[in-house]
Chain A
Amino acid sequence: MKHYSRREKEKAFEVIVSQYEAQLLRYVSRMIFNFDLAEDVVQETFLKLFKNWKDELAPSPQILSWLYRVAHNKAIDMIRKENRRINHQNNKAEWDKIDLEILHKEKSGISENALAAAEILNSLTPDEKQLVILKVYEKKTYKEISEITNLTTGNVGFKLHHIMKKMAKRLNKGEK
């Protein structure tokens, strides 16, 4: 493990956080549809990075894949935690409100079709949602997605095809 001086540590911190915070915030916001919770998740992700990363702390595809993986797992934990909290309070309506906060904020100026697509996206499983977000919004290649998700590139294509087909079917039927 490389030993960093105080100044090097500060520089590494600034470079890593500045480089990746926007991407992670965007990714997690689309995963959990709530900005405050997304910030919590990204904060936890960086804390884990700086605690556990043993190699050189400089921007690299490996760090980015690692960050996406950790952010994804933490987002799932956050969704479960919120679900438990709301089930405990026996108040499903509150979860719907939290979950779709972004949708409703953005409702003006968006086509009905786009809103329906976003609601379908929100109803997918976290792993399905991850693939769609990485491909459609983050514009990652199958190879990059496979590095993040540990799936083979063939499997990424196969799964994405089925998810998109399912979405197209639901959109055509006018389901949400």
Chain B
Amino acid sequence: MAKLSQKQSIIKCSDIEPHLFDFLQHELGSAQTTIITEHLKKCEDCKKSLAELQSSLKALEDFGVAQPPKHLTDNRRKRIKFAYMHPFLNFCYIHHKIISIIIVIITLATVLFLIKNASLDKKRNFKEYPVQLNLR
């Protein structure tokens, strides 16, 4: 205790001031809390700083932001659940434009390929073979 009071006598406001908010929030150890409490009893400047901090803290607390919604809407909940339960379908849902373009390209390529093959087959079927007629 003697050591603590000796310590208190050499403590300056500049040592105390940076810890005033921690003090308000009960984030300090018991020794530091005692030192600050004792200092505040004697120091008007630090007491004033503490009062200012307290007042701005209270102003902030008084402003309870208009009650934000407590729950997500049903649609959003369903959307999250769908993404979690069906990741592949969700991927398709997110990238539906790219997937649609790819499907169209593949379909077009297949159709073109089939048309080309069909015309080749046609050509092959009507190929002219030289015929030699023996008219003797």
Contacts and interface: CB of A to CB of B under 8 A. Distances in A.
Interface of A: 6, 9-10, 13, 17, 21-22, 25-26, 29-30, 33, 35, 38-39, 42-43, 46-47, 50-51, 102, 105-106, 110-111, 113-118, 121, 132, 135-137, 141-142, 157-158, 160-161, 164-165, 167-169, 171-172
A137 B61 CA distance: 7
B68 interface: yes
Contacts of A26: 65, 68
B18 A158 contact: yes
A22 B49 CA distance: 35
Please give me the 10 A-B residue pairs with the lowest Cβ-Cβ distance, nearest first: A117-B59, A29-B68, A114-B62, A50-B84, A114-B63, A168-B52, A118-B63, A168-B56, A161-B21, A106-B66
24 contacts: A13-B84, A17-B80, A21-B71, A21-B72, A30-B68, A35-B69, A46-B80, A50-B83, A51-B87, A111-B62, A116-B59, A117-B56, A117-B60, A117-B62, A118-B60, A121-B60, A121-B63, A136-B57, A160-B21, A161-B19, A164-B56, A164-B57, A165-B53, A167-B56
Given A114-B63, A116-B59, A132-B60, A13 B81 contact: yes
A118 B25 contact: no
